[in-house]
Structures are given as structure tokens and as C-alpha cells.
Amino acid sequence: MQAVRLQAVGRIGLVEVPDPGPGPGEVLVRVQAAGICGTDRHLFRGEFPCAPPVTLGHEFAGEVVACGEGVTLPLGTRVTCDPNIACGSCDQCLRGRVNLCARNSAIGIHRDGGFAERTVIPAHRAIPVPGLNPQHAAFAEPLACTLHGLDLGAPIPGERVIVLGGGVIGLLAVQLARNAGAEVTLVTRHPAKRDLALSLGASHTAATEAEAHALLPQGADLVLECAGVAETVEMAPRLTRSGGRVVVLGVMPQGETVRIEPFDLLFREIRLLYSFINPFTQARAAAMLSEGRIDTTPLISRVIPLTEAPEAIANPALPGEVKVLVVPG
């Protein structure tokens, strides 16, 4: 079968690999849709730790076509994949902090993932999503990560929230914060993304930090950094009101640093939090998608075949692009 393999940092391609088969406790999934994530581009550039050679793809959905010993999931079940496999026995797992597991093995990062015709995953990481369009089900993983960030930020009705970044995480955060009853402002330079945010429930948008300050002179109760670039990480506390909180969801390259003024955080008692992956949120995300509480249709910018995936991963996203989905076959 065909799979998109990261052979080494800077080397990615579509190759022929042996057909996989499920072992005990595993299922074989025919991949129907897989999303390209900014993390995939970090992996290609060596900016995020992984274990090449490996088939990339950690945001995907598909159909169960075979089961290993001990698995009772019916064939034909449509599933989304929770890609993070915690060990369950390290100190962090025993504290319930499974996203910080010392031995976490991530599908599509440390073991073969969803940019392939078929892939094998542990049955306990397969979440049934019957009746859900696979192109929508592929959003479960980024939505789950965004849910964790909103759990940490805990917006409440009537609060003012600023979302920095108009990518898929930012536009999902707009919807989640709006669903929580907050007044939401999206900050991004891309006019099409600002228009999209307004259609998804944002009350206001801004192109720059100065425009955001003009809209909210006192600052926001909660700022969600979703762009993963130094400019917005540094900007986030400046847009936060005294006593407010910042949650950083964006992924910056490993080793890159930013400038933060600790005195400002101290004097205004700003809580600066970081949100990492999706602890216990994937099933909630799948349910929200199945119930239509999150709109993903306008977030799909392109649908491409496997043959085009290596080039899409190796290059920056196109201007205004939100999510590119890979559909094998």
C-alpha cells in the first residue's frame, strides 16, 4: 500500500510499504480522511521530536476493516483516532496527567499514522463516530487539543476572550469560547480568516495588536494564543487585563525563545498557562462534532490525494489556508 513517510528530517515522500495487519488488541483502519497539522511541518523540519522513519498523520478518521485478537469492535465502524498512547504507570500517569506521560507514544509521530491507505491502531484509541462524515471526524484531534486549552482557560458567560491566530485551532477556539457564552475577538492579519471568524460567532476581529487594544482598552479576561509564533506569544500578556489569564496552545519550534516581562506578569497578576495535547478530551470532541455543535465545513480549505501530501507538508501553508485534508484513494 502507499504511505507518506518521514524518512529523516527534511526527507519525506510517498512510498510503497507492506500492508499492515492488526495484532492482539488492535484494529486495522481504512483511512478516509486525515488532516495536515502544523506539527507535521515541525516534524519535517526537525522542530518537534519524533521517531523517523515513520508514517505521519495524527488527525484522521476511517473505517475498521479488521480486528486483532480480543477486539469486539464491529467491522465497518467509523472511528476517529486518539493518537496519544500513555504508559499508565509513570508518575505523571498515576497523577492523572496522561498528556505529560514520560513514555507517551503518539500515532503519526512515534509510530505509523494516518497518511496512508490503512493503518493499525490500538482498539482503545479508536473512538466510534457512527454517521459522522469522515472529513469532519478528522477534526476530532485538533478539537480535543483546543478543548483542553479551553478547560484550562475556563471562560465563563460574559467574559471577554481574545483569540490570537486564525488557523484551525484559533477558529475552533472562537467557537468553543462563544459556546461558553464569552464575547470573542479574533486577531489575525488575514482578512478572509477575520470574515470567517465573524461567521463562526466572533463578535469582533482585529488585524493588529493596536486594533485589539482599541476594541478592548482594559484587555481581555482570557487570551488564547493559537498561532505558535513568537510575536503572538509575546503579545498575549499585553492584551490581557489585570488579573486575567493567558493560555498558549500554539506550538513553537523546539529551542526557540520569546521575551516576556516577569514584572508585568507579577504586578498585574497575569496567569500564564500552557496547554499540551488532549488529556481525556478526544471523546468529548467526537461527541461535539457528531452533535453538530462545532462547524468544521468552512475550515476545510483543500482536499488532496496522498500523492500531493508530501509537498503540502514540506512547504508552508498557502495564504489564508485553514485545514488541508488528505483523502487516500
C-alpha distances in angstroms, 314 versus 40, 101, 250?
9, 29, 19
- What is the identity of the amino acid at 106? A
Catalytic residue among 42, 58, 148, 190: 42
Of 284, 282, 226, 252, residue with least CA distance to 85: 282
d(CA 162, CA 202): 10
Concatenate the DSSP letters of all residues of 61-124 into one string: EEEEEEE-TT--PPTT-EEEE--EE--S-SHHHHTT-GGG-TT-EEBTTTB--SSBSEEEEEGG
Is 42 annotated in the active site? yes
Q: Which three cell numbers stand for residue 168?
A: 484551525
DSSP designation for 310: H
What are the cell numbers at 127?
Answer: 473512538
CB-CB neighbours of 118 under 10 Å: 23
Question: Which triple of cell numbers denotes residue 267?
Answer: 504586578
Residue 124 falls in the annotated catalytic set: no
Q: Compute the distance between CA of residue 137 and CA of residue 135 in angstroms, rounded to an integer.
A: 6
User: Which residue in 39, 146, 188, 205 is the catalytic one?
Assistant: 39
183 CB contacts (<8 Å, ≥6 apart)?
A: 158, 159, 160, 161, 203, 204
> Measured between alpha carbons, how far is 59 from 37 in angstroms, rounded to an integer?
8
Which sequence positions are flagged as catalytic?
A: 39, 42
